[in-house]
Amino acid sequence: MELVVDSGVKKMEGEAMRKNQTLICAPIMADSVDRMLILMQKAKISGADLVEVRVDSLKSFNPRSDIDTLIKQCPLPTLFTYRPTWEGGQYAGDEKSRLDALRLAMELGADYVDVELKAIGEFNNALHGNKSAKCKLIVSSHNYESTPSAEDLGNLVARIQASGADIVKFATTAQDITDVARVFQITVHSQVRGVPIIAMVMGEKGLMSRILCPKFGGYLTFGTLEVGKVSAPGQPTVEDLLNLYNFRQLGPDTKIFGIIGKPVSHSKSPLLYNESFRSVGFNGVFMHLLVDDIANFFRTYSSLDFAGFSCTIPHKEAALDCCAEIDPTAKAIGAVNCIIRRPDGKLFGCNTDYIGAISAIEEGLQGSQPSISGSPLAGKLFVVIGAGGAGKAIAYGAKEKGARVVIANRTYERARELAIVVGAEALSLDELSNFHPENDMILANTTSIGMQPKVDDTPISKEALKHYSLVFDAVYTPKITRLLREAQESGAKIVTGVEMFIGQAYEQYERFTGLPAPKELFKNIMSTY
């Protein structure tokens, strides 16, 4: 698959820097030709290789003059799609007019046209064998409900190929992130057989399929020009493909890393790790992984290519059972937030949460009264909100530093269970606002209360915050939560989740790469959050 002009792909500046031949296609959806031409220029500037002209988005359409204008004035190669409503598009007119327009695009010099598998017979009959040599025919199938079995996908590819397609395209929908594995399997198989293929899994759980096209041999991926303005669910932006995921640098030997969570799209981990990988030339990519069942995820993605993972809510405790070996501290905490696949394929789990949080809190307290033990936490009353994985880690770390620990949780029973393990006191969250046996206490929120989009939520009343000398919040989207804002107004020092996030990432980066963590770079990357 070479990038040459007569294949419909114009040479791009800096092409020599590319490590793969996979193209980025920007869908152009607008209600007028003039607006489409503006978006085409934007696609060129953004770094896309070609544009998909979604004719079905036009409010008025004069086929001959409009297609001619769009082809001649587009600064990039063109793919024409005229998607009917029965295949998820906007066109509700008669089939003959629709297919005539696609044939006209082929005649007038389009580089690609996309025809649905259900319509390809009628399209081919009307061509009478007069297919343009320049124009590549993409034959597509879209499943907006699910992702079929590998056998059914293989049969679908065979049917599309038999229809006369130059390029096979199918898009399915992810019910679970493990659905993507079957699409990767088909993509690799098709590449081995020399069949150019575009294979996407729609939805947030299918994001991996769009980013990893170059690794598994996909012909192209789609990247939208603006956040939220997508032609199919789950599309990343062209900017994110190029600048966040280092798309041009991905290849068959790229190692895959990611953050496993639910929800997970808010995480800044891909930004932190991918920029750090790029800075040292490390051949890896880090992604959001929206996972329902972590055990099923690891059973499915068991190859050495899936090399390392951060783990967040709600999977930190379940991750323990997935690891063949667990660091003693993580075992004591009862939660894992970093997982490494060893060369033998087995998983090793550890916990870097407590290091990141406790060191950030200690730093925040420095200059208060230094303690004899060396930690400013020694002897302090330390209240932890939450009894999940992060709560366990921070309670364990605080206890280890000599603090007197109290666990507050919505469910008292869970607080009590953790308190027994750690050697702490337990409260229900409802009791916390009236709990102030002394002043100068430390408060650490380890729950998602106050996280975007519920930024007006807080776990404790402002009135109660006057009894605390320092308040920490593990939430870092937003950086200053309502809890932290009210704590600051009440006179307490605050430590943000960003500081914990950076601290816990140091060790993870070193385990992922075998290289020393670029600490200043981490701080610079996160300084705007």
Which residues are the active-site residues? 142, 169, 316, 353
Instruction: In whole angstroms, give the CA distance from residue 249 to residue 228.
Output: 25
Q: Which amino acid is at 49?
A: D
**DSSP assigned state of 236:** P
Instruction: In whole angstroms, give the CA distance from residue 304 to residue 180.
Output: 17
Q: How far is CA 77 from CA 13, 23, 230, 263, 347, in A?
A: 15, 11, 20, 37, 45
DSSP string, 283-297: -EEEEEEE-S-HHHH
CB 230 within 8 A of CB 221: no
Instruction: In whole angstroms, give the CA distance from residue 29 to residue 367.
Output: 58
Nearest to residue 506, comparing CAs of 381, 293, 355?
Answer: 355
- Reply yes or no: is the peptide bond before residue 453 cis, omega within 30 of 0: yes
Residue whose entry in the numeric block shows the structure tokens 């290289």: 515
Chain centroid, CA 290 distance in Å:
8
Contacts 24+ apart (CB under 8 A), 507-510: 507/338, 507/350, 507/352, 507/355, 508/308, 508/310, 508/338, 508/352, 509/273, 509/276
Question: And the tokens for 277?
Answer: 């990988």
- Stretch (H or E) spanning 473: strand 468-473
Count of other CB atoms within 10 angstroms of residue 164: 15
Helical segments of 245-348, H only: 269-280, 294-300, 328-333
N- to C-terminal Cα distance for the chain? Answer: 41
Question: And the tokens for 483?
Answer: 């809890």
Count of other CB atoms within 10 angstroms of residue 398: 29
Sign of CA dihedral 116, 122, 126, 129: positive
